[in-house]
Structure 1
Amino acid sequence: MGEKNSDHLALIGRWLAGETVNNTVGIKVISGPFHGRTKIVELDQSGLPPAGFRCRPGRTPGPWSPAAKHIYLAVQAPDTPAGWIYEYAGTDTPPEG
């Protein structure tokens, strides 16, 4: 059991370091409420990550509206290990009413 767990943690460590393993890689998140985190994603057949993602920060401190969905877009970044980053693109706030 210990070796299996160790292998799994090693695999996650490789993804977090920006290494593509089994068509999966960790991509750094830049700016917004998730700045500094890494999103682990599966690449498509062309080697491209999902174009973006939306999320809510929950109780993350900061000037973020808890009702807003925060939008991140994949951007090529040749100076990063994965070759991509997820860059903050703003919020998609629900209409008030």
Structure 2
Amino acid sequence: MEDEGFEHLALIRRWVAGETVNNTVGIKFIGGPFAGRTKIVLLDEDGLPPAVIRASGGSAGPSRHAYEAVRSTDARAGWIYAYTGPEPAAES
């Protein structure tokens, strides 16, 4: 059981480091309230991450923020999520 836990943590570390394993990779958020965090995402059949990620909660509060996948030669994963701004508040 301990070996399984160690292997799982090793896999997560590889994803967070930007290595693609089993078509999954960790992509860093750049800018906005989630800057510096990493989102582990499943790549599609063409090796592309989800085009847009919406994040909310935590220290950012209840508002939702959008991030767009952008190719990056500086990131090991080859992608970053760049902040595109807060989403408009829902109309009441």
Q: Would you call these one fold, judging by a TM-score over 0.5?
A: yes
In 2, are the aligned partners of 1:54 and 1:70 still within 8 Å (CA)? yes
State the Cα distance separating 1:55 from its structure 2 match: 1.6
Q: Where in structure 2 are there 5+ consecutive unaligned residues?
A: none
- Alpha carbons of structure 1 residues 93 and 19: separation in structure 2 relative to 1, 3 Å: same
Count of aligned residue pairs for this structure pair: 92
- Alpha carbons of structure 1 residues 13 and 67: separation in structure 2 relative to 1, 3 Å: closer
**Counterparts of 1:5 and 1:47 in 2: how far apart (Å)?**
27
RMSD (Å), alpha carbons? 1.4
**Counterparts of 2:78 and 2:55 in 1: how far apart (Å)?**
22
Sequence identity, in percent? 57
Q: Where in structure 1 are there 5+ consecutive unaligned residues?
A: none
**Counterparts of 1:67 and 1:45 in 2: how far apart (Å)?**
33
Equivalent in the alignment of 2:69: 74
Runs of 4+ in 1 over 2 A off after TM superposition: none
> Structure 1 length as normaliser, TM-score?
0.87
> Structure 2 length as normaliser, TM-score?
0.92
